[in-house]
């Protein structure tokens, strides 16, 4: 996200209904009980399954000495795609977090560590679909605004 151009927009999908303050992050993200972790994982997995069911999803990798060449790959099966696009699913391909593109919607979708994933896009096609999938999955869409990105002092 730190290297994105000014034309790139971001929306996030989260189990949380707002951006967490530093205090909330400490409280809600540290030493999460197994039952709560499972609940959060299930919510995010539900979102990803809905996304996979409704649009093409490809994995990608940066190749070359300078990591400046993108290589896109289709998944061998729907099961392999579902296993990858779920919390901690990146490990199935040796990645810390998973990252995919949705060609029909011209966006990238990346897993984050805090039960939040991020869509990066330049044209607004993904927003309506993401809101729909989030409502069906009982997760939340968080918008990136100057106010949301800057915690109060």
Integer angstrom CA distances of residue 89 from 5, 24, 72, 83: 28, 26, 18, 6
Note the pLDDT tens digit of each residue in 10-24: 999 999 999 999 999
Q: Can you tell me the mean pLDDT for 125-132?
A: 92
61-80: per-residue pLDDT in tens?
A: 888 888 888 889 898 888 88
With 70 as the cut, is the pLDDT of residue 92 above it? no
Across the chain, mean pLDDT equals 86
- Tokens describing residue 7: 């034309």
- What is residue 91's predicted lDDT score, i.e. its pLDDT? 62
Place of tokens 């409502």: 135
Phi, psi at 150, each rounded to 5°: -110, 105
pTM of the model: 0.85
How far apart (Å, rounded) are the C-alpha atoms in residues 137 and 153?
Answer: 34
């Amino acid at each position: 996200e730190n290297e994105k151009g000014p034309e790139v927009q971001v929306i996030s999908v989260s189990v949380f209904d707002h951006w967490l303050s530093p205090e909330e992050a400490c409280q809600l993200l540290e030493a999460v009980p197994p039952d709560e972790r499972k609940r959060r994982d299930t919510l995010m997995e539900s979102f990803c399954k809905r996304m996979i069911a409704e649009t093409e999803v490809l994995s990608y990798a940066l190749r070359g000495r300078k990591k400046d060449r993108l290589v896109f790959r289709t998944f061998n099966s729907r099961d392999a795609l579902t296993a990858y696009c779920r919390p901690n699913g990146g490990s199935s391909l040796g990645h810390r977090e998973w990252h995919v593109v949705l060609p029909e919607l011209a966006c990238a979708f990346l897993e984050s560590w805090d039960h939040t994933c991020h869509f990066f896009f330049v044209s607004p096609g993904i927003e309506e679909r993401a809101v729909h999938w989030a409502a069906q999955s009982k997760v939340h869409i968080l918008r990136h605004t100057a106010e949301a990105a800057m915690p109060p002092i």
